[in-house]
């Protein structure tokens, strides 16, 4: 059954499909096919590229970096477990992506040299919002190389450094950076070789930025880790209650801008499983009831489709 109104819906679906390239969507395609798609200027521009478990040779990466110049609308780029050992050709391509907001790399063969190259690129990449460098064999020296670039990223809200070789000295560097960047909402350091001293460094950051979410394992279940998590809750809860009270007191019809619905900033960096303790969830529910009583819309969506309840 077809209705004329379906036309625009189908057009939107086709455009969304055409604007995304994932290796799971093209299981038989190689890098040559992707590079050919990047050069196809008669097709809708790509906005997202995700490559997982695709064999990428050094020459493939050079060609890919050159082809990115023709797709400057790309906002999300993810390359995981593709055998890359030299990130320089990729960085050359990244320099031609002014709208890139999310970059994710997971390549064990990269190391600190890649961190230095990414750090230099970040200096001129103010649009980056989410940066993930997991399983990249980054050490404390690599963190130091990233620091100048991270300090220039005013819109960065999450940094994921899982499964790297970052120790206490690297955490000290990150803590100093976080203390002066209150916009950052999430730092993940799971499965990094940290000791109890790392929590002392992270305490400085959490006391300055009370909206910051820090995830660290395996010490999270140790006495030091549990004490750190308790301290985070004690610091965050008063700010949480004050923030929600402010939201509930806004006059009816006070519309929040796109991308910044109520609770949007507060919940930044959290996953549904790690959201908040039960007592704080009850506070959120109570605040939402107050918002309903005040006539504030709870179904207004931002550009990502999120409502205040999301």
Ramachandran region, residue 135 (left: φ > 0; alpha: ψ -120 to 50; beta: rest): left
Per DSSP (E only), the strands in the chain are 20-22, 48-52, 76-80, 102-106, 130-133, 158-160, 186-188, 213-215
Q: What span, in angstroms and rounded, lies between the C-alpha atoms of 79 and 106? A: 7
Start-to-end CA distance of the chain, whole Å, equals 34
Q: What span, in angstroms and rounded, lies between the C-alpha atoms of 298 and 310? A: 10
What is the per-residue pLDDT for 116?
95
Residue 251: DSSP 8-state: P
What is the per-residue pLDDT for 258?
47
Q: What span, in angstroms and rounded, lies between the C-alpha atoms of 195 and 299? A: 44
- Residues linked to residue 213 through DSSP beta bridges, in sequence order: 186
What is the per-residue pLDDT for 210?
59
Q: Are 260 and 281 in contact (CB under 8 A)?
A: no
What is the per-residue pLDDT for 308?
64
Per-residue pLDDT of the chain (310 residues; tens, 9 = 90+): 455 555 554 455 445 556 788 887 777 778 888 888 888 878 888 889 999 998 899 999 999 999 999 888 899 999 999 999 999 999 999 999 988 999 999 999 999 999 999 999 999 887 888 999 999 999 999 999 999 999 888 888 889 999 999 999 999 999 989 888 777 878 888 888 877 788 888 887 877 765 567 776 555 566 776 777 677 666 655 555 555 555 555 444 444 444 455 555 555 544 444 455 555 666 677 777 777 777 766 666 666 666 666 6
Paired sense of beta strands 48-52 and 213-215, if any: unpaired
Tokens 């929590």, residue? 199
Q: What span, in angstroms and rounded, lies between the C-alpha atoms of 60 and 34? A: 10
What is the per-residue pLDDT for 4?
56
* CA-atom Rg of the chain in angstroms: 22
Tokens 């004050």, residue? 242
How would you list the strands of the sheet with 130-133, edge to edge? 20-22, 48-52, 76-80, 102-106, 130-133, 158-160, 186-188, 213-215
Inter-CA distances, 60 with 30, 69, 82, 237, Å: 9, 15, 11, 50
- Residues linked to residue 285 through DSSP beta bridges, in sequence order: none
Give the pTM.
0.72
Token output for 296: 């504030």
Find the Cα–Cα–Cα–Cα dihedral 56, 53, 25, 79, rounded to 10°: -70
Inter-CA distances, 196 with 63, 124, 173, 219, Å: 45, 35, 16, 8
Q: What span, in angstroms and rounded, lies between the C-alpha atoms of 138 and 132? A: 12
Residue 43: DSSP 8-state: S
What is the per-residue pLDDT for 125?
81
What is the per-residue pLDDT for 88?
93
């Amino acid at each position: 059954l077809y209705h004329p109104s379906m036309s625009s819906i189908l057009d939107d679906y086709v455009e969304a499909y055409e604007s995304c390239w994932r290796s799971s969507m093209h299981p038989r395609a190689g890098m040559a096919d992707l590079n050919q798609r990047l050069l196809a200027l008669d097709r809708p521009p790509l906005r997202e590229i995700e490559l997982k478990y695709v064999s990428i040779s050094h020459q493939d990466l050079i060609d890919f970096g050159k082809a990115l110049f023709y797709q400057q609308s790309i906002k999300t780029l993810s390359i995981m477990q593709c055998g890359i050992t030299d990130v320089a050709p990729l960085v050359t391509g990244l320099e031609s992506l002014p709208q890139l907001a999310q970059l994710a790399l997971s390549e064990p063969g990269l190391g600190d040299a890649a961190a230095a190259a990414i750090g230099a690129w970040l200096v001129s990449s103010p649009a980056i919002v989410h940066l993930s460098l997991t399983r990249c064999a980054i050490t404390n020296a690599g963190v130091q190389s990233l620091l100048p670039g991270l300090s220039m990223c005013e819109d960065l809200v999450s940094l994921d450094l899982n499964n790297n070789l970052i120790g206490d000295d690297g955490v000290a560097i990150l803590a100093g950076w976080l203390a002066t960047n209150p916009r950052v909402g999430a730092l993940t350091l799971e499965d990094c070789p940290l000791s109890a001293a790392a929590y002392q460094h992270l305490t400085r950051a959490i006391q300055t930025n009370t909206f910051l979410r820090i995830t660290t394992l395996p010490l999270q279940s140790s006495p030091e880790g549990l004490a750190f998590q308790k301290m985070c809750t004690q610091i965050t809860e008063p700010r949480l209650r004050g923030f929600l009270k402010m939201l509930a007191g806004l006059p009816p019809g006070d519309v929040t801008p796109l991308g910044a619905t109520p609770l949007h900033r507060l919940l930044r960096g959290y996953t549904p499983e790690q959201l908040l303790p039960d007592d704080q969830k009850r506070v959120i529910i109570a605040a939402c009831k107050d918002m309903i009583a005040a006539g504030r819309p709870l179904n207004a969506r931002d550009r990502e489709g999120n409502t205040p309840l999301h």
